[in-house]
Amino acid sequence: MTYDFAPLFRTAIGFDRLARLADTALEASPTPAYPPYNIERTGDDSYRLVMAVAGFGQDDIDLTVKENTLQIAGRVKTEAQQGETLYRGIAGRAFERRFVLADHIQVEGAELQNGLLVVQLRRVVPEALKPRRIAIGAAQPQAIAAQPQTVSNDSQPQVQAA
């Protein structure tokens, strides 16, 4: 299924990235379910990504932001086990998840706590892009630079004595 964005492009400038994002989201590629995560809005301009990463330590997880994409990758280092595992219910397999960030979304920090990776995100709009009020000034009348002329209401020409 594809959408025709032509009507949008007739009146909007710079929305070609939006069309690419919509096309990417509609592709028929299966979305991986591991590891599970939540995306929460914590304020007007702040978000939190919470990902369940049981069995992973701080050194096992790599967060990278590049070109409006947050990539989270996890690789568990194999360690010598003490004993034999009879049932493995906690997945410890490697993973890689990518999240497309909207314009001006910045990663503020991340922490690993109780098997949950918490990534703090905030929308930071540059001052140049914030709405600003433009004052309307009054136009100043332009002064006429020519010398003033004397206007006479007499119908007869004036004669000067010589």
3-state SS track over 125-139: CCHHHCCCCCCCCCC
Give the Cα-Cα-Cα angle 14, 16, 20 (nearest 5 degrees). Answer: 150
Give the residue, 93 or 15, on which the prediction is more confident. Answer: 93
In single-letter form, the type of residue at position 75 comes to R
In single-letter form, the type of residue at position 73 comes to A
Indicate the pLDDT class of residue 131, thresholds 50, 70 and 90.
confident
User: Where along the chain do the CATH 2.60.40.790 domains lie?
Assistant: 32-126
Average pLDDT over residues 57-71: 90
Which of 76-80, 114-118, 125-129, 151-155 is predicted with the least confidence, judged by mean pLDDT? 151-155
**Two tokens at 98?**
């990518």
What integer best gives the mean pLDDT of the chain? Answer: 77
In single-letter form, the type of residue at position 28 comes to A
Q: Do β-strands 105-113 and 95-100 pair in parallel, antiparallel, or remain unpaired? A: unpaired
Cα(90)–Cα(29) distance, integer angstroms: 26
Residue range 32-126 in CATH 2.60.40.790 = yes
Cα dist from 119 to 37, 46, 65, 70, whole Å = 11, 11, 12, 10
Name 30's bridge partners: none
Most confident range (mean pLDDT) of 11-25, 32-46, 73-87 is 32-46
Average pLDDT over residues 17-37: 68
